[in-house]
């Protein structure tokens, strides 16, 4: 592909975007052979300039938390950047990996894919809320992970542990295949699935004996 051809092809591509951008922003101008392109910081997501924060009340880990949030703010961002609950991880921000899994009224949900305003009135549990608040004792799922020496890099661990918590509540006697299905919304890039399943089975065992 020669220089002239590739430049021509690019013109086709960007003149369209330029046109759309021009309609929206009426701000772009093009030089004769150049391609003025607006940057894309959010890359797919849309910034909402001028959106106003609103003070709302959330129930998180059994506590009432008053917090200012934007209308388009996700629960994961509120947890991490407003409430400093950084145990909830952002692995993909697009419901692909499950690192941000939290419990909303006991149901596992991707924190990156819920707006904070959607969960007013719900009870939110994050990884920080699993230990016994009075004794500091680990939850059965957390204890199971210790017993099995679970996880490698563990960036996915909070999300997996929240999914396991939902699993043992719903199905305290899973088969290994059922456990795998319950955890299939979470991705572990280290590939430590065999041990994660061992943790899940041990978690169910501990939860049954509580």
Partner 1 sequence: MAEKIIGTDIAPQDLVAKITGRAKYAEDFRADGMVFAKLLLSPMPHARVRGVDATRALAMPGVIDILRADEVRQIEGRPGEASLTDEPLYEGQPILAVAAETEEQAAAAIEAIEVDFEPLPFVLDPLDSLRPNGPNAYTGGNRFGGGEFSELKWTEADFEEIEAGRMPNGEAAVEWTKGDIDAAFSESDLVLEESIVHQSLTHHPMEPRSAMMYWENGKLHAFVSTQSAQRTKYAIAGTLNIDPEDVILVAEYCGGGFGSKISGNTHMEVPAVFSRKIGRPVMLRITRYEENYIGRARPGFQSWLKMGFLADGTCNAIDLYIVQESGPFGASDFNTAGMIADLVYTPQNMRFRGIAMYTNTPPKAAQRGPGGAQIVIMMEPILEKAARQLGLDRLEVHLKNAPDPDVGFGPRNSTLTSVHAKEALEKGAEIFDWAGKQELSGRVEGSKSTGIGIGLSPYTAGSRGYDGLMVIRPDGKLYVHQGLGNLGTHSIMDTARPAAEILNLNWDQVELVWGDSSRGMPRSSVQAGSQTTHAHSRANHAAGMDARAKVLEVAAQTLGGSPSNYDMDNGRVFRRGGGASMTFAQVAERAIELGGKYDGHELPDNIHATTVPAANMLAGQGLMGVARDNYGGSGGVYSWVAGFALVELDRETGVVDIKEYVAVTDCGTVLHPRSLEAQVLGGSVQGIGQAMTQRWVFDPKWGVPFANRLYTARPPGILDVPLDMKADALGIPDPQTPVGAKGIGEPPVGAGGAALTSAVADAMGGHCLCRTPLTPDIILAELEGLSQPFTLEQHIG
Kindly state the smallest distance separating residue 78's Cβ from partner 1, in Å.
13
Burial status of residue 200 (CB atoms within 10 A of its CB: 0-12, 13-18, 19 or more): buried
| 63: helix, strand or coil | strand
Kindly state the smallest distance separating residue 153's Cβ from partner 1, in Å.
3
Exactly one of 69, 75, 76, 99 binds partner 1 (CB under 8 A); which one? 99
Within 103-132, the residues that bind partner 1 by CB under 8 A are 126-128, 130-131
Segment contacting partner 1 (CB under 8 A): 39-47, 103-111, 113-121, 166-174?
39-47
Residue 60: CB partners within 8 Å, gap ≥ 6? Answer: 79, 83, 85, 124, 125, 126, 129
Within 132-191, the residues that bind partner 1 by CB under 8 A are 138, 142, 145-158, 161, 176-177, 180-181, 183-184, 186-191
What's the Cα-to-Cα distance from 182 to each of 52, 153, 175, 197, 202, rounded to whole Å? 38, 21, 10, 10, 15
Q: Residues binding partner 1: what is the number (CB under 8 A)? A: 85
Tell me, what DSSP letter sits at residue 88? S
Kindly state the smallest distance separating residue 162's Cβ from partner 1, in Å.
10
56 binds partner 1 (CB under 8 A): no
């Amino acid at each position: 592909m020669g220089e002239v051809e590739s430049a021509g092809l690019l013109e086709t591509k960007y003149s369209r975007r330029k046109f759309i951008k021009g309609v929206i922003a009426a701000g772009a101008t093009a030089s004769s052979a150049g391609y003025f392109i607006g940057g894309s910081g959010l890359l797919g997501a849309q910034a909402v300039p001028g959106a106003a924060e609103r003070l709302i009340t959330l129930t998180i880990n059994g506590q009432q938390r008053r917090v200012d949030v934007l209308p388009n703010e996700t629960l994961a961002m509120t947890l991490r950047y407003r409430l400093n609950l950084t145990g909830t991880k952002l692995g993909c921000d697009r419901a692909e990996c499950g690192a941000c899994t939290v419990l909303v009224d006991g149901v596992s949900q991707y924190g990156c894919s819920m707006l904070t305003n959607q969960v007013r009135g719900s009870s939110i549990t994050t990884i920080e809320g699993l230990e016994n608040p009075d004794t500091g004792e680990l939850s059965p799922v957390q204890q199971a992970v210790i017993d099995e020496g679970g996880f490698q890099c563990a960036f996915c661990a909070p999300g997996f542990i929240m999914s396991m918590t939902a699993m043992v509540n719903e199905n305290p006697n899973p088969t290994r295949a059922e456990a795998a299905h319950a955890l299939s919304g979470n991705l572990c890039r280290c590939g430590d699935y065999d041990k994660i399943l061992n943790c899940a089975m041990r978690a169910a065992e501990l939860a049954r004996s509580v």
